[in-house]
Structure 1
Amino acid sequence: MKLTFVAVLLLTGLRGCFGQSGASDTAASDTSAAGSGLPTAQAAYSAPAYHAALRRFDVRRRQLAGRYRRATTAARRTACLGEARQLLLSELDSTIFPAWEGTAWAFYGTSWEPRRGSIACGYFVTTTLHDAGLRLQRTVLAKQASEVLIKNLTSEAYITRYRGLSQADFVRQAQALGPGLYVLGLDFHAAFLRVRPDGGVQMVHSTYLGPGTVVREAAASSTALPSKYRVLGKVSADPNFLRHWLLGDALAVHGATVQQ
């Protein structure tokens, strides 16, 4: 009886991570737990403070977008995209990921608000990017297989695929790709991988395992990372992704296998 229950729970979790159906809808080295790849203590959360912080970031994004549009040389535009990368990573690391941490995972979770309701793994990826200011079709992309989701966020040049690697070897491969923000696709799961300048590697995701919540944890010891097939999309290195985010351009959906 116990084995049957565990099997059903695990199967539900696996299916829920990339085929959900439900209601529509920093660059500087950090010596803290967040920068080392170690699990982090859950931060306090205030909805008004969270949304005020998002508005402040959006003002900074719009100001930077204005500078980008006024730039008269390729070098100046490239510099603006570099600043955009730092701003986006700072927003996710300091505000968005900590706010969502502790939010419950559920098979049909589609919450728009941290610490309220529940959120599935694909919805966590698309909702946090939406909170950061990326214009994307949150529900459609959240329902796709993780590789389809990644291919809609970044181009092939920034995607790396791995088969049959041990967890430790995969983490070393991710470190070798360099610091930044990655969207991670597993056999039955979607997540963020955050590689720090000091080499720390965190997995940030809504997990059906362990606490059954959104967590930021060391990738090397994450119980959700084992997978026969893994896909990494380094969105923070892709100038097209950064340009879409900076200028507020909407992302079109391509190759969707699951419709609304």
Structure 2
Amino acid sequence: MKISVLAVLLLAGLRGCFAQNAASDSAAAPAARPAELAGYSAPAYRATLRRLAARRQQLAGQYRQAATPAARARRLEQARRLFLATLDSTVFPAWEGTPWAFYGTSWEPRHGSIACGYFVTTSLHDAGLHLQRTLLAKQASEVIIKNLTSEAHITRYWGVEPADFVRQVQALGPGLYVLGLDFHVAFLRVSEGGAVQMVHSSYVGPGTVVREAAATSDALPSKYRVVGKVSEDDAFIRRWLLGQALAVHGATVKE
């Protein structure tokens, strides 16, 4: 049966792997295996996030005190690097191995389960972005992206083979992207060397949060793809740096 893109996006919001309402974490996925818990400590994770938040707040003060546009630009670039480092070194590793579930809404890495939309919004929340985690997680993937960044940083792809898609994302340059698929939402992390990794709560394969090569991910095939390069958006980085709240526009599913 052929489905229009609009219908696909609606289905992604209503029937995809975004959790639609608060349900028990125990409903759909097995507990994380002991091997997946190695090297993670909830108190240590929270302590690290507090230290990173303190560094962000210090940098925010320096940004506000910067006397020239050039000085503010330097502070914003430092903020961009801190934001990416927070996700790469702390948030993503902590969540890896957490079971996926359709109704997963966990706040705690490797405890309970988490749906793909909730993984995206919770990761950004843990990194320090002030957002409505639940409301945004319930939206179709394109709505999530459009709330995070502007059209200037969004690229859409129709009917592109996975390998070609990965090459085209590589051409957009290093950084952090939010990726919307027909029935899924994820992060894409492009390294300085051009490697493209997909970080997501995967409903296929291991059925957990994984960081894997995008080109070989079983979750990448999709008729329609949209990517938002959030790390390149100065407005996004400034909002994160200054702790400004992210309003949700165009919501089709309410809290």
Normalised by the size of structure 1, how large is the TM-score? 0.86
CA distance in 2, matches of 1:43, 1:165: 38
Amino acid at match of 1:257: T
CA distance in 2, matches of 1:135, 1:126: 10
Amino acid at match of 1:17: C
CA distance in 2, matches of 1:119, 1:253: 21
**Aligned position for 1:15:** 15
CA distance in 2, matches of 1:88, 1:54: 11
Note if 1:202 corresponds to 2:230: no
Amino acid at match of 1:83: Q
Distance apart, 1:16 and its partner CA? 3.5
CA distance in 2, matches of 1:22, 1:256: 15
Distance apart, 1:23 and its partner CA? 1.7
CA contact (8 A) 1:104 1:213 kept: yes
- Contiguous gaps of at least 5 residues in structure 2: 1-10, 24-35
User: For 1:243, which of 199, 213, 238 is the aligned residue?
Assistant: 238
1:183-202 equivalent positions in 2, closer than 5 A = 183-202=178-197
Distance change (3 Å), C-alpha of 1:165 and 1:115: same
CA distance in 1, matches of 2:150, 2:73: 18
CA distance in 2, matches of 1:167, 1:176: 14
Amino acid at match of 2:248: V
Secondary structure in structure 1 of the residue aligned to 2:121: helix
* Identity of matched residues, %: 75
Note if 1:120 corresponds to 2:80: no
Secondary structure in structure 2 of the residue aligned to 1:243: helix
1:114-193 equivalent positions in 2, closer than 5 A = 114-193=109-188
Distance apart, 1:42 and its partner CA? 7.9
Amino acid at match of 1:234: K
CA RMSD, 1 decimal: 1.7
Distance change (3 Å), C-alpha of 1:141 and 1:121: same
CA distance in 2, matches of 1:43, 1:163: 40
Amino acid at match of 1:197: E
CA contact (8 A) 2:37 2:110 kept: no
**Aligned position for 2:98:** 103
CA contact (8 A) 1:16 1:120 kept: no
Distance change (3 Å), C-alpha of 1:97 and 1:165: same
